[in-house]
Structure 1
Amino acid sequence: MRLIKLKNVVSGMTLAKGIYSCEGKVLLAEGVRLTGSYIDRLKEIGIYEIYIEDEISKDIHIRDIIDDQTRIAAKRTICQAVRDLRLKKSFDVPRVSEIVNRIVDDLLSNKNIMINLADLRSVDEYTFAHSVNVAVVAIVIGKALGYNQLRLRDLGIGAILHDIGKTEIPLEILNKPGRLEASEVEIMKKHPEYGYEILKRHRDISTLSRGIPLMHHERIDGSGYPYGKKGDEIHEFAKIVAIADTYDAMTSNRIYKQKVAPDKAIEYLVSTGNYNFDYNIVKLFLNHVTLYPVGTIVRLNTAQKGIVIDNNQYSPTRPIVRIIKDEKLHSSSEFEEIDLQKHLTVFIEEICDE
């Protein structure tokens, strides 16, 4: 299995991972042989990438960091919460708590966590998938910080609801495909306060959880919003979610912006540490995220092309790579596998589309 951009998909390829709507309905089932009409439909609904099964990746298994059914249920829960709030109704807080507990349980059962956010999403469903991913990444960081289960739950609830204030933002601004006008930016910047006010109406959501939507856009150097808080004025939960939010936003396709590769997002977080983010938390995050996810096509300094088949947890820049094209870019008949941790003169130069 490997991830491939939809523009590189051709008829006859086999879908390796099912595609679901935010309600959990199957849009395209795993194992389907893709046709031109299926590919066109995926373009229409805003799917930019899919997982395929082919000769070079047939024995590669890409596992999501949480159970597939947990992810589907979580996206459905957030989807419903957003709809309820748009209709000026209360959302189901016990259901959100239940789904966060499931995410926490999934992650606590995994001893050696490496963040691999393997969900497929359309650009129209960005909000729901993003909310779930931010909760997952935040809980991973909280676990690394030694939080107990109750604290992880409070962190997870605030994280999965961090953008809930956007339900008060007009859809024409929220879904605008181009750059926002200055006046629209100011309206968008109100969503942290809106989110806090929404959660404040629910007494069964803790004060710590409520503070996350309010403060997740604050920055260590005081350059954030809505209050320009800095350093220790920002709660640790909000510092964690700021990192999780930025990482997933950068590595996701959106209506107005194409995603960047994980290594570029990580480079940004490192370079802005102690300015925008708590650098100690960034360093902890780096121990649990892979720069080159399994299934990624890479070019080596030897001019060979390969596909990442596994990661070395303590050497994130040096995964195990299967060579699929030689230095002259001829397809390899036999797939040599190189552990870059053991071949120190060989390294990855860049991530490739194909």
Structure 2
Amino acid sequence: MKAVTMNALRPGDQLANPIIDAYGRVLLQKDVIFTEKLIKRLKDFDFRYVYIEDSLSEDIAPQNIINERLRVEAISKIRQTFKVFDEYDHQKHKQYMLERSMNEVQSTVNEIIDVVKSHDEILSIMSDIFMFDDYLYNHSVNVTVYTLVLARELHFSDRQIEEIGIGAMLHDIGKMKVPKTIIDKPGKLTDMEFEVVKEHTTYGYDILKQFKNIPQSVAYCAYQHHERLDGSGYPLGLKEPNIHEYAKIMAVSDVFDAVTSNRVYRNAFLPHEGLEILYSGSDTQYSPKYINLFRRHISIYPNGSYVALSDGRKGIIVRQTKVPDRPVIRILEEQDHEIHASQVYDLDLTKHLSLVITDCNTTPS
């Protein structure tokens, strides 16, 4: 199968993977044949890519470190917990509902931790970018998975991994206190509106620090994930020595997922562009140690995506190697001409170091 953009999708193309929404509902079943009306419908819902069946890439499969069941369950638990905090005050007779929600979050985090620990391969993210439509909760899951992968590679203790996992899952809980009209505003925020959005870090901290069974470090994840090494972040403008390590790790995961996700006010950046954004702030806003770790363990050119090489050749990512930015590519075009099916071949970029990927998802129309 291969990933194609909405502009490259054509009537008659066949869906290779079911499309699932954030509630676990199947929007489109596998093997559906696309029509012009169906393609327009997906565009209206701001889908960016779909996987379609293709004879030259039928052996290619996307990588998902967590399956659909676990992702949908995690989104459900986050949604439920956020709403419990939003709808209920903190009187003692309602405390049990909050405690129960926190226990469910902890249980879900531990399930994700088990999956992350059992998978040593490169983490691929593309298939999750466009299958789920509830940004806030899906973003929280993505940040949790990215953060846990980094924590694993940093050889954190089991206690630390659980703490940072819970912190990642709840890092944006304060956004429940920000007016939805501001969160969902399609245009640029005014200075005053941005000041309101920035308050979500303080709201989140105030919520989480009330729980005696939640470590202070978890609350700091909500409080400091927008702080930057040079002091340019918020809410306190802390500099590198005073920012909690969990928050510095989470900043990398948070920014990458935010810029590579569709938002109401802009289209998503491609994964390699998201990494470039992180590197542009390396050592000033984000820790180069954690950016480099992210690059080594998160695939920025996922299986099934269409790429262009520096020598003009184009093809589909077949599989990952030990070097995330040097995958194996099935070459389909040379010198702007399609190769005959019988002459298609695979190229391992780890064996051709003079070649680099110059563009991603340049799917032929």
TM-score range, shorter chain: over 0.9
List per-residue Cα deviations over 1:319-342 (Å, max 9, x = no partner).
211011221322432221111211
- Give structure 1 regions of 4+ aligned residues with deviation exceeding 6 angstroms: none
- 1:43-83 CA deviation, whole Å, 9 max, x = no partner? 33332222222223211011212222211211122222233
Q: Are 1:219 and 1:277, in contact at CA under 8 Å, matched by a contact in 2? A: yes
| Aligned twin of 2:296 | 287
**Equivalent position SS for 1:63:** coil
TM-score normalised according to structure 2 size? 0.91
Q: Which residue is equivalent to 2:287?
A: 278
The match for 1:20 is 20
1 CA distance for matches of 2:22 and 2:362?
27
Equivalent AA in structure 2 for residue 12 of structure 1: G
Whichever residue aligns with residue 299 of structure 1, its letter is A
Indicate if the aligned counterparts of 1:212 and 1:237 stay in contact, CA closer than 8 A: yes
Which has the higher mean CA deviation after the structures are superposed, 175-184 or 3-12? Answer: 3-12
SS at match of 1:8: coil
Alignment match, 1:304: 313
Structure 2 residue 124 is matched with structure 1 residue 118:
no
Matched, 1:9 2:9: yes
Alpha-carbon separation, structure 2, partners of 1:30 and 1:152: 36
The structure-2 alpha-carbon separation of the partners of 1:67 and 1:160, relative to structure 1 and needing over 3 Å to count, comes to same
**267-276 vs 29-38, greater mean Cα deviation:** 29-38
Match of 1:323 among 317, 331, 339: 331
Residues 163 and 213, structure 1, Cα contact 8 Å, conserved in 2: yes
Give 1:246-265 correspondences, 5 Å limit: 246-265=255-274
Q: 1:177 is matched with which residue: 172, 176, 186?
A: 186
Q: Which residue identity lines up with residue 227 of structure 1 in the other structure?
A: L
- Report the more deviating stretch, 197-206 or 285-294: 197-206
CA distance in 1, matches of 2:259, 2:198: 18
2:129/2:261 contact within 8 Å kept: no
Q: CA deviation at 1:12?
A: 2.0
CA distance in 2, matches of 1:122, 1:285: 23
Q: CA deviation at 1:121?
A: 4.0
Residue range with higher mean Cα deviation, 133-142 or 23-32 = 23-32
In 2, Cα distance between the equivalents of 1:20 and 1:348? 30
Aligned residues: 353
2:338 partner SS: coil
Partner of 1:39: 39
**Alpha-carbon distance change, 149 to 318 in structure 1, aligned in 2, over 3 angstroms:** same
1:83 to 2:91 alignment: no
Cα drift, residue 120 of structure 1: 4.5
3-state SS of paired residue (1:350): strand
Question: Relative contact order (alpha carbons < 8 A, sep ≥ 6): 1 or 2 greater?
Answer: 2
SS in 2 for 1:287: helix
Aligned alpha-carbon RMSD (Å): 1.9
- Kindly indicate whether the alpha-carbon contact (under 8 Å) linking 2:229 and 2:240 is maintained by their aligned counterparts in 1: yes
Please report how far the alpha carbon of residue 122 of structure 1 lies from its aligned counterpart in structure 2 after TM superposition: 6.8
- Structure 1 residue 129: Cα displacement: 0.9
Q: Distance in 1 between matches of 2:285 and 2:313?
A: 37
Aligned-partner SS, 1:337: strand
* In 2, Cα distance between equivalents of 1:329 and 1:82: 52
Q: Say if 1:21 and 1:305 are closer, same or farther in 2 by CA, change over 3 A.
A: same
Q: 1:94 aligns with which of 91, 95, 103?
A: 103
Q: Deviations over 1:122-181 (max 9, x none)?
A: 785111111000000000010011012221111011101111100000010000000001
Whole-Å separation in 2 of the counterparts to 1:67 and 1:352: 24
Corresponding residue for residue 55 of structure 1 = 55
- State the shift of 1:100 in Å: 0.5
Distance 1:322 1:278 in 2: 35
Picking from 325, 332, 342, the partner of 2:340 is 332
Deviation at 1:258, TM superposition (A): 1.2
Q: Percent identity?
A: 36
TM-superposition CA deviations, 1:88-111 (whole Å, max 9, x none): 465511111111111100000112
2:21 touches 2:132 (CA, 8 Å); kept in 1? Answer: no
- The answer to whether 1:70 aligns with 2:66 is no
Q: Indicate how the Cα distance of structure 1 residues 144 and 115 shifts in structure 2: closer, same or farther if over 3 A, else same.
A: farther
After TM superposition, the structure 1 stretch with the greater mean CA deviation from structure 2, 75-84 or 191-200, is 75-84
Correspondence for 2:209 = 200
Amino acid at match of 1:332: H
Q: Does 1:143 align with 2:183?
A: no
C-alpha distance in 2, partners of 1:228/1:103? 32
Verify the 8 A CA contact 2:21 2:133 in the aligned structure 1: no
TM-score with structure 1 setting the length:
0.94
CA distance in 1 between partners of 2:77 and 2:32 (Å):
27
Deviates most, 235-244 or 111-120: 111-120
Preserved CA contact (<8 Å) 1:323 1:332: no
In structure 2, distance between residues paired with 1:3 and 1:187: 38
Judged with a 3 Å threshold, the aligned counterparts in structure 2 of structure 1 residues 96 and 62 are, in CA distance, closer, same or farther, namely same
Structure 2 gap segments, 5+ residues each: 90-96
> Which ranges of structure 1 fall in alignment gaps of 5 or more residues?
none
